[in-house]
Structure 1
């Protein structure tokens, strides 16, 4: 085990799995650029009614004919993906907790649900999808969904989803953004270790032993190339700073437009005027972060200035600190004292580095560090709560962060994502369920119970307000005004996995909020 932790080279597992762009070639580009579907994700998720190679051959034969109608051609040969849970409505008089418990069945997918010729990667166990346009498992979403599954008495589904993620690590070398072929070149915030910790609350320490090999493989994926790096250089997801400190960044192994947002990415690159394809990597890296998109990744005022891979974020590095500690725990359980000592030392070194490089005393928060410019970003974002959730921050830092959050991010309906309103969905005025949960539990960790309960009260109140008006729980909420939420590349989605999970958990923690 100790030898494995040194970090072997990780191959790009996605190369052997054809994506919709690979399968449909010039048809894919024309469909996406001409916006045959209003949502770019629809085509890459669509189900072909016949073999893809036959469809492509028919396209090549017919496209030159006079009056060729691309939309009609596609409609006749593809089945548009479903809008998950769009028609689900609460039963009259039903409590929101009962609504959520019933929704798990709507959002559940089974191995036998798989269809031929789909971009969706088959998984061996059951799982929950978020809903709306998202009809696949998502990595970081699932941790927050699990919070609610546990409260709903669906520990069986939590364990099935963890088993799926372990299978993905074994099969592809990492957990992809989601189980789609076009997601394989990137991951998402690495919450697998946190999932194992959640499972251990019921399963006991045996779960650390069972999933230790996968925890190690995930760590190797995130740390790939660290050993050979020279100071001031970066490789994939690791950066070695001038003093030899190694921290991590978000990344993507491809530098072409995202297939699920092809037209949008091409337009952004055109606006940027960038000759380099690195604009696409920055866009994809932001998708790996889960914050797609946010002004925290911008060098200027618009998405065209995105430079995600130049930034070392506190959220990712807090997660990797927790991953290191979890591996150490697994090594302790398996009586590998050398491994445990090694990983605990790595965790302590990372903890010190997070404070040294990412603590922004002037802003009163942990902020992103631009490793190329060697300076901290000034912008305060909700990412500052991650070091609280994973117990990286000092007691003094927690008090400062609490004051900063009260004065900058706390709004009438919960925690805003950033302080800027740009029209991007991971900016003000939107609030998101995962960030509320991380903040609430993070502040509780440091004895800031009043602030935690205030965030919970305001967030739950907004969720219930929209639920009572519409019978829906949605992806994100406007924490300032009256609307549900908006902005970004696609319309507001309902369903919705992590909102259900966090709300179900919060109502168990604060039952009076349901009254």
Structure 2
């Protein structure tokens, strides 16, 4: 998006005065580092509104050349002077983030390229520049690439798959250590290691990371990280004990029958600093709703990792109808079930039988709630709109998460796999949804992590043929793009037209951490499958 003329930008800024500046200037209520929108108040609003940088994420990733309070005071003193230039002020007081281009040697094969990428995408930020948004981490970690210069929570589990394949168990352990340090410091794992991500988390994969390491290193890993798993569970369940049927608090919902499930949430209700203008524009398109409500739902969708998708839209088509906090997502609850089971196992290893029994009980209650509330009569697991009291009808790849964690009964698993095969499997892999909305987590895009969830679900429930078909199609998409563009990207078009994916609020990024981890793991599975082919099976007969 090209920068707007300054006059138009200032006019928009005037419209926003009632929305953010007051929130931006209020005192930070926690000991956490303050995000840029709170540090810089109206300077932040003016910079983002004027689009001093084409990408809204650039300014919030920039490093101040002086103390933020001093910079803000200077801005307030100078901005009214004749000939004042906002861009010149920003250039003088901030160092924009440096992108590290991915420039591999020519002639690399796909596996060779992925092996080359691991050190290229590894960062070590035990000490972060003062005043900036980057949160230091004690150990090295892998970033996705492109504009994503920091580590991301759920991305990292899929990245770790590839690191294990590369023999980098040390880096897997380092990344677990980083996430544990964040739980110890903040009480949760933030979306990414930036101050503006602290108000939310992402899909809770920490237990799966611990289990991934334990598969190579032994069960002592589970017991070691038990305190952090319990703290993460407490974060997701905060407020549950006081809820009455039909009420919700933060990330917990108690349904009308008393069942306890979870939703995505964000502790803030202002525009996301890294997507400020986009969020303001979305709220303007929803004039019948308070802007803060829209912004909370946008932020909650960012916590889901599916930002954005028709899964969260009231009308299934438009971002302006987003209602994320009204939805109980099936994938989130499957992951929390896995966390509860992992805690129960860790407590057993620690000989804490009371704890083991408690979390085993939590897990059993969650399974029962998933089966009762999140099963769609058309034959798949679905999200549930707890405010409207009904299931969401559109199929999405999230339906496979109960299978991925092994919680689905075999009959329901078989029906879910058939639905996924018929509704979502295209010529180039598994689509995220069936809806074409222009959002990046909708058709025709397919994402590497969803391919892995689908592959493992199919194999776990006796459908290696489906797993092999899915793998072959997605790998063909990856290999086609790599052959023409010599890069791996964050998403692919899987409807048969081929090519890199699109949509969403930023240009396509390459690198790309979780794609690399999943692709190299799928290549390994393809090699194994060729050595022991699955029995042939008649494809599902799908109504068209």
TM category, shorter: over 0.9
Cα separation, 2, equivalents of 1:429 and 1:74: 39
1:281 aligns with 2:296: yes
1:390 aligns with 2:405: yes
1:85-125 deviations in Å (ceiling 9; x for gaps) = x3423x33322212111111111111356323220101111
1:128-161 deviations in Å (ceiling 9; x for gaps) = 1111001111000000000000001111000000
1:333-386 deviations in Å (ceiling 9; x for gaps) = 111122212211211111111010001022x21111011111001010010011
C-alpha contact 1:138 1:177 (8 A) present in aligned 2? yes
Residues 358-437 of structure 1 aligned to structure 2 (within 5 Å):
358-362=374-378, 364-437=379-452
* Alignment equivalent of 2:77, drawn from 38, 42, 61: 61
Cα separation, 2, equivalents of 1:32 and 1:466: 34
Q: Which residue is 1:151 aligned to? A: 165
Q: How far does residue 67 in structure 1 lie from its aligned partner after superposition?
A: 2.4
Q: How far does residue 59 in structure 1 lie from its aligned partner after superposition?
A: 1.7
Q: Which residue is 2:17 aligned to? A: none
SS state of the match for residue 461, structure 1? helix
Q: Which residue is 1:5 aligned to? A: none
* Alignment equivalent of 2:185, drawn from 161, 165, 171: 171
Cα separation, 2, equivalents of 1:459 and 1:113: 39
C-alpha contact 1:311 1:371 (8 A) present in aligned 2? yes
CA 1:77/1:355 → structure 2, altered by over 3 Å: closer, same or farther?
A: same
Cα separation, 2, equivalents of 1:134 and 1:475: 11
1:180-228 deviations in Å (ceiling 9; x for gaps) = 1011110000000000110001110101110000000000001111111
**Residues 296-305 or 71-80, more deviating:** 71-80
Q: Scaled by the length of structure 2, what TM-score is found?
A: 0.90
Which runs of no fewer than 5 residues in structure 1 stay unpaired? 1-11
Aligned-residue CA RMSD (Å): 1.7
C-alpha contact 1:13 1:173 (8 A) present in aligned 2? no
Q: How far does residue 448 in structure 1 lie from its aligned partner after superposition?
A: 0.8
1:157-180 deviations in Å (ceiling 9; x for gaps) = 000000111110010000110111
* Alignment equivalent of 2:506, drawn from 490, 501, 507: 490
Q: Which residue is 1:40 aligned to? A: 56
1:25 aligns with 2:66: no
**Residues 387-396 or 138-147, more deviating:** 387-396
Cα separation, 2, equivalents of 1:203 and 1:32: 47
C-alpha contact 2:102 2:120 (8 A) present in aligned 1? no
* Alignment equivalent of 2:175, drawn from 161, 169, 178: 161
Cα separation, 1, equivalents of 2:203 and 2:30: 18
Q: Scaled by the length of structure 1, what TM-score is found?
A: 0.95
1:99 aligns with 2:113: yes
1:314 aligns with 2:330: yes
Q: Which residue is 2:541 aligned to? A: none
CA 1:243/1:511 → structure 2, altered by over 3 Å: closer, same or farther?
A: same
Q: Which residue is 1:180 aligned to? A: 194
C-alpha contact 1:461 1:513 (8 A) present in aligned 2? no
Q: Which residue is 2:533 aligned to? A: none
Cα separation, 2, equivalents of 1:476 and 1:94: 21
Which runs of no fewer than 5 residues in structure 2 stay unpaired? 1-27, 531-544
SS state of the match for residue 277, structure 2? helix
C-alpha contact 1:144 1:502 (8 A) present in aligned 2? yes
Q: Which residue is 2:352 aligned to? A: 336
CA 1:112/1:226 → structure 2, altered by over 3 Å: closer, same or farther?
A: closer
Cα separation, 2, equivalents of 1:113 and 1:468: 39
* Alignment equivalent of 1:448, drawn from 463, 482, 490: 463
C-alpha contact 1:82 1:133 (8 A) present in aligned 2? no
1:130 aligns with 2:150: no
Q: Which residue is 2:232 aligned to? A: 218
* Alignment equivalent of 1:466, drawn from 472, 477, 481: 481
**Residues 174-183 or 477-486, more deviating:** 477-486
C-alpha contact 2:492 2:498 (8 A) present in aligned 1? no
Q: Which residue is 1:503 aligned to? A: 519
Q: Which residue is 2:67 aligned to? A: 51
1:357 aligns with 2:373: yes
C-alpha contact 2:327 2:385 (8 A) present in aligned 1? yes
Q: How far does residue 512 in structure 1 lie from its aligned partner after superposition?
A: 7.8
Which structure would you say has the larger RCO, counting Cα contacts within 8 Å and 6 or more residues apart? 1
C-alpha contact 1:269 1:280 (8 A) present in aligned 2? yes
SS state of the match for residue 502, structure 1? helix
Q: Which residue is 1:71 aligned to? A: 87
CA 1:492/1:297 → structure 2, altered by over 3 Å: closer, same or farther?
A: same
Cα separation, 1, equivalents of 2:490 and 2:339: 27
SS state of the match for residue 111, structure 1? coil
Q: Which residue is 2:263 aligned to? A: 249
SS state of the match for residue 284, structure 2? helix
1:222-257 deviations in Å (ceiling 9; x for gaps) = 111111111110001111111111000000111111
